[in-house]
Amino acid sequence: MTDIGIAQQALQEALEPGSFGEHLSSEEIPKGVELRFSCLLPGYTDWHWQVTLSKLTTRSQPTVSEINLLAGDDSLVSPPWVPWAERLAEYRKARKEQRESMTKNEAEDSNAESDPWLDFDENQMDEPVDIDVPDLEPASPNVEKAKDSKANANKRGVKPPAKTTRTNRVKKADNQNQDDNPDSSAE
């Protein structure tokens, strides 16, 4: 079987039918070959499938190393990633410029009313605001109100069980030993 046949068989096994098209090109690489096939998936114009076949020796059978979907030169791809710190710095710079231009416009127009949002600084948090929430009534008259949890709790918190699990296991093991060897306890 030829390299192209092996690559097509690998693509048929790995992909859904109709996902790849004709063979576009081949490129020899050290210890193998890279074969490119057109991509027929909707939304992936100018993309191609690349199958990498590797050979240990020139006479050995090639094996499939990788199957990749790669973008072409004119493909639609996402913009390069920008770290959050840089994006935030750009945002803050733009907001500062916007505020400065607005304050200049307000200074020129003395009759303008003040806008409370212009003085808002998102870096400073306001003090927490208490919100009055009305007590909710039970859904039906049959529902009892919850008992006060502080009245039911002791001062030291939850008490541990009187006997721990380990203590119970040790006692059980001792009892089984006494049952198995009744003479050993009489010594």
Check residue 46 and give left, alpha or beta (phi > 0: left; psi -120 to 50: alpha).
left
Q: How many residues does the chain have?
A: 187
Instruction: Please give the C-alpha separations between residue 91 and each of 86, 95, 122, in angstroms, as whole numbers.
Output: 9, 6, 12
| Radius of gyration, alpha carbons of the chain | 38
Residue 133 in tokens: 């929430």
Cβ partners under 8 Å of residue 154, min gap 6: none
Burial of 102 (0-12, 13-18, 19+ CB in 10 A): middle
3-71 CATH: 3.10.450
Q: Give the pLDDT of residue 15.
A: 93
Q: Give the pLDDT of residue 75.
A: 86
Burial 53-86 (b: 16+ CB within 10 A, else e): bbeeeeeeebebeebeeeebeeeeeeeeeeeeee
Instruction: Please give the C-alpha separations between residue 175 and each of 59, 129, 162, 163, 166, in angstroms, as whole numbers.
Output: 75, 63, 20, 16, 14
Alpha helices in the chain (DSSP H): 3-14, 84-108, 149-152, 165-180, 182-186
State the pTM of this model.
0.45
- For the chain, 187 residues long, give each residue's pLDDT as a single digit of tens: 889 999 999 999 999 999 999 999 999 998 899 999 999 999 898 999 999 999 888 788 899 999 999 998 888 888 888 898 998 999 999 999 998 888 887 776 655 455 555 555 555 555 666 667 667 665 666 656 555 555 555 556 666 666 566 677 777 777 777 766 666 545 4
